[in-house]
């Protein structure tokens, strides 16, 4: 620990702390612009300069490491004068027309800094040069006229999303922020994660949807969890008048630390489906509005006699619903043969099956942060679960290599150092082939008994269509890595073969991805509560065999055309959903329910973290909570819902440790 005295106050900080952070710890705020607590310090704006005893000129506190016994002053007259001058220089550099800018009046850190220094005008004439305003992007505007070249956006694009789309071009006063090789942002490699918007201190990068809606200080902030997929990012909702103005990544989130993907940030803002606002029942072939009582009575009357009968009821629930709802659903339809989810366990069944034998074997997401090689197999981390992809993409300039294996076109193929395109369905042969090469060349970290490695290699080459050289190279690269991680997904798990998972596990152990100290093997699962569903045993494929009734609890989830086809032939279809769809159009009864932001509940993400969503809004008048509807039905059907979700999920061994 090091001692530092700031403005007369003495505190102790660990080695490596910067003077700026030390001051914060001492309760002293040093004005700054380019610094951001989640990004590596830059030291460019120079607003944070402080006087250090024994040093002739002031130093930037954001990049200055504390040394033992340092004495620092942050509020001398000379420093105040300097700050004012630096701000004047910034205002003179570009066209800062505050009256027309939507961050003016509280949300602009440049303006706030100037007010803090009691400035009232610009003392230095600007140059009135014109800079590019880029409106080509669907979600945000990049306006170089308001830029202070703090480089937060460049750092965010690099360190949060790992996409490296933004950079600064030219030098000196001609510097400006550009995308790729100076192309319009809307035509660039930008993946629309919005990290740059979230960190921009001025109105240089602004969110189109929420612009001019209200100042942040007048919005209500609610922290919640994104239910878009099983990564489970923390989000911060900015709301007013019962609607979301903007979604931001939650800096507090232990999973995502502030980053979000396009889906988490913008999909809810782009919701275009029509909300169902009243219970509906089919009368004379047409869906008519009815009262809740009539609808629930009809459903209960229909389902009560069928409950427990063979080929009676098939019950399907969406894995986007909270754990409480899933548990209640399971209990409600416990006596029936088919109780499963819309995912039918595709992302999880084989994994959980293997866990029954092996115990918990999957690692946590943060193992991706120090992987030197990431092998992605059966997963497109550039399209789904994107934040998991960010976690290793951002380390690629430091040397992390990516091996991508996918029989289909994969978004990350261009980024991958090695990519293999095996024939569909040849995964087992491929994995065994990789194992065989490693065992044959003696590169394994732990022993693995493999009979006849030559024939396994031959088989791999024949079945996958991949050349022997490519197979060997891939195996060698993987085996020679020091901290490899194997990331897999639906491409593997949808084959529902726990032997496949087991062989992948064996490969992981063989190359040292899994050992006594680290678990460098994880599957990305599917939707928000995929893991919860599988632990509750809701993960079989359903096959309708002349079933009399189907109950689908969809929540606000989507349905595929094939799903609709599979269930709609049944004679009695009940759908509990938030939005109109082809499925609700086919239903006999439609029960309108809450969406994700209107209910609270628990979710377990892909690496075992239990998190909770908040109820942000009240549901529209005639719409009811998902769980409440199930409870009501249970009462009417004389079924008691006794399980507590916390215990229920312990029924099966989780593939990843829960916490």
Partner 1 sequence: MIARTIERDVSAIVQEAVEKHGAKRDALIPILSDVNKALGYIPAEAFQEVQKQLNAEEEHTYVSKSQLFGLASFYDMLSTKPRGRHVVKFCENAPCHVVGGKSVWDTLSDRLDLKNGETTADKKWTLVTTSCLGLCSVGPVVLIDDDLYGNVTPDQIDEILARYE
Partner 2 sequence: MQTKRAMILVSNDPESVRLGANELIQHLTEALIAYDLQDEVEISPLSNVGVSNILPLVAVYPEATVYGPVKAEDARFLVEEHLYKGRIANDLLAPPKHLSGNIGWLRAHKGYNPAEQRIVLERAGRIDPENIEEFIAENGYQALGKALTETTPEQVIETIEKSGLQGRGGAGFPTGRKWKFVRMAKGEKKYIICNADESEPGTFKDRIVLEGDPHTILEAMAIAGYALGADEGYIYIRGEYGLAYRRLQHAIEQAEEYGFLGKDIFETGFNFHIHLHTGAGAYVCGEETALIESIEGKRGEPRARPPYPVTHGLWNKPTLVNNVETLANIPAIIRNGAEWYRSFGTPSSPGTKVYTIMGNVNFTGVIEVPMGITLREVINIYAKGMKPGSILRMAQTGGSSGSIIPASLQDTPMDFESFRKAGVSLGSGALLICDQNTCIVDLVKVLLQFFRFESCGKCTPCRVGTQRAYEIVARISQGQGRLEDLDTLISLGQEMERAANCGLGQTAAVPIRDMLKHFRTETEAHILLGSCPAGKCEMLPEVEHV
Q: Which stretch binds partner 2 (CB under 8 A): 41-49, 234-242, 429-437, 619-627?
A: 41-49
Interactions with partner 2, residue window 89-108 (CB under 8 A): 89-90, 92-93
Q: Where are the alpha helices (DSSP H) in 200-340?
A: 262-266, 292-306, 323-332
Query: At its nearest, how many Å lie between partner 1 and the CB of residue 517?
Result: 25
> Per rule CB under 8 A, is residue 171 in the interface with partner 2?
yes
> Per rule CB under 8 A, is residue 86 in the interface with partner 2?
yes
> Per rule CB under 8 A, is residue 417 in the interface with partner 1?
yes
CB nearer to partner 1: pick between 414 and 441: 414
Q: 6, 22, 23, 60: which one contacts partner 2 (CB under 8 A)?
A: 60
d(CA 464, CA 477): 19
Interactions with partner 1, residue window 380-409 (CB under 8 A): 396-397, 399, 401
- Selection from partner 1, partner 2, none that 399 binds (CB < 5 to 8 A by kind) is partner 1
d(CA 477, CA 469): 12
323-326 long-range CB contacts below 8 Å, 24 or more apart?
Answer: 323/529, 323/532, 323/601, 323/602, 323/603, 323/604, 323/645, 323/649, 324/601, 324/602, 324/627, 324/645, 325/553, 325/555, 325/601, 325/626, 325/627, 325/630, 326/529, 326/532, 326/533, 326/536, 326/538, 326/645
d(CA 103, CA 111): 9
CB nearer to partner 1: pick between 278 and 473: 473
> Per rule CB under 8 A, is residue 45 in the interface with partner 2?
yes
Token pair of 416 as six digits: 């991958």
- Tell me, rounded to whole angstroms, the distance of Cα 552 from its chain centroid: 27
Query: At its nearest, how many Å lie between partner 1 and the CB of residue 168?
Result: 6
Interactions with partner 1, residue window 165-224 (CB under 8 A): 165-171, 178-183, 189
Do residues 546 and 569 lie in contact, with contact meaning Cβ atoms separated by under 8 Å?
Answer: no
Neighbours of 25 (CB within 10 A): 14
- Tell me, rounded to whole angstroms, the distance of Cα 361 from its chain centroid: 22
- Selection from partner 2, partner 1, none that 90 binds (CB < 5 to 8 A by kind) is partner 2
Site string for partner 1, 154-173 (x = CB under 8 A): ---------xxxxxxxxx--
Interactions with partner 1, residue window 445-484 (CB under 8 A): 473, 477
d(CA 86, CA 79): 10
Q: Which stretch binds partner 2 (CB under 8 A): 78-86, 263-271, 371-379, 499-507?
A: 78-86
CB nearer to partner 2: pick between 18 and 435: 18
d(CA 223, CA 238): 9
> Per rule CB under 8 A, is residue 420 in the interface with partner 2?
no
Query: At its nearest, how many Å lie between partner 2 and the CB of residue 185?
Result: 21
Produce one character per residue of 591-628: b if its CB has 16 or more CB atoms within 10 Å, e if not.
Answer: bbbbbbbbbbbbbbbbbbbbbebebbbebbeebbbbbe
Interacting residue ranges for partner 2, rule: CB under 8 A: 41-47, 49, 57-58, 60, 63-65, 78, 82, 85-86, 89-90, 92-93, 124, 127, 148-149, 168, 170-175
Interacting residue ranges for partner 1, rule: CB under 8 A: 163-171, 178-183, 189, 396-397, 399, 401, 414-415, 417-418, 473, 477
């Amino acid at each position: 620990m090091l001692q530092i005295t700031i403005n007369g106050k003495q505190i102790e900080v660990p080695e490596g702390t910067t003077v700026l952070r030390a001051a914060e710890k001492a309760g002293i705020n040093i004005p700054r612009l380019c610094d951001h607590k989640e990004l590596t310090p830059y030291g460019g704006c120079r607003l944070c300069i402080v006087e250090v005893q024994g040093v002739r000129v002031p130093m930037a506190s954001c990049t200055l490491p504390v040394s033992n016994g340092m004495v620092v002053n942050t509020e001398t007259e000379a420093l105040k004068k300097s700050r004012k001058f630096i701000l004047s220089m910034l205002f003179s550099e570009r066209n800062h027309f505050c009256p027309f800018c939507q961050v003016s009046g509280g949300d602009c850190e440049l303006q706030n800094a100037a007010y803090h220094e009691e400035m009232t005008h610009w003392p230095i004439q600007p140059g009135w040069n014109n800079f590019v305003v880029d409106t080509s992007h669907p979600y945000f505007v990049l306006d170089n006229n308001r830029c202070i070249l703090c480089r937060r956006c460049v750092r965010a694009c690099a360190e949060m999303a790992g996409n490296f789309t933004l950079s600064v071009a030219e030098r000196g006063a001609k510097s400006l922020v550009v995308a790729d090789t100076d192309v319009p942002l809307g035509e660039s490699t930008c993946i629309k994660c919005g990290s740059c918007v979230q960190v921009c201190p001025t109105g240089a990068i602004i969110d189109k949807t929420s612009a001019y809606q209200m100042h942040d200080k007048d919005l209500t902030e609610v922290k919640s969890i994104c239910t878009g997929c099983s990564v489970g990012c923390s989000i911060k909702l900015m709301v007013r008048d019962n609607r979301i103005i903007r979604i931001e990544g939650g800096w507090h989130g232990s999973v995502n630390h502030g980053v979000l993907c396009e889906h988490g940030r913008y999909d809810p803002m782009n919701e275009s489906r029509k909300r169902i606002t009243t219970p509906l029942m089919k009368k004379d072939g047409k869906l008519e509005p009815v009262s809740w009582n009539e609808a629930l009575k009809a459903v209960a009357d229909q389902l009560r006699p069928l409950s427990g009968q063979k080929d009676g009821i098939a019950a399907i629930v969406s894995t986007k619903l909270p754990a409480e709802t899933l548990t209640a659903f399971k209990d409600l339809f416990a006596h029936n043969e088919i109780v499963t989810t819309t995912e039918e366990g595709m992302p999880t069944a084989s994994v959980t099956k293997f866990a029954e034998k092996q115990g918990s074997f999957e690692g946590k997401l943060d193992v991706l942060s120090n992987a030197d090689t990431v092998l992605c197999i059966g997963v497109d981390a550039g399209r789904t679960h994107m934040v998991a992809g960010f976690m290793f993409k951002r380390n690629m300039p430091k040397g992390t290599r990516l091996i991508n294996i996918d029989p289909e076109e994969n978004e990350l193929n261009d980024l991958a150092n090695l990519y293999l395109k095996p024939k569909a369905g040849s995964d087992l042969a491929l994995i065994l082939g990789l194992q065989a090469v490693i065992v044959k060349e003696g590169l394994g970290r732990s022993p693995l008994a493999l009979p006849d490695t030559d024939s396994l290699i031959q088989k791999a080459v024949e079945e996958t269509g991949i050349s022997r050289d490519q197979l060997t190279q891939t195996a060698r690269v993987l085996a020679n890595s020091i901290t490899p991680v194997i990331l897999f997904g639906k491409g593997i798990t949808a084959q529902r073969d726990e032997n496949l998972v087991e062989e992948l596990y064996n490969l992981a152990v063989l190359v040292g991805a899994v050992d006594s100290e680290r678990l460098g093997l994880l599957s990305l699962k599917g939707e928000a509560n995929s893991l919860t569903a599988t632990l509750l045993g809701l993960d079989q494929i359903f096959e309708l065999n002349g079933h009399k009734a189907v109950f689908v609890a969809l929540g606000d989830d989507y349905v595929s055309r094939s799903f609709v086809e599979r269930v709609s032939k049944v004679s009695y279809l009940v759908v509990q959903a938030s939005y109109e769809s082809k499925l609700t159009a086919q239903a006999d009864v439609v029960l309108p329910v809450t969406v994700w932001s209107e209910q609270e509940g628990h979710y377990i993400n892909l690496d075992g973290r239990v998190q909770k969503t908040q109820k942000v809004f009240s549901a529209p008048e005639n719409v009811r909570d998902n769980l409440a509807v199930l409870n009501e039905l249970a009462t009417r059907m004389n079924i008691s819902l006794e399980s507590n979700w916390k215990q229920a999920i312990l029924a099966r061994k989780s593939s990843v440790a829960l916490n």
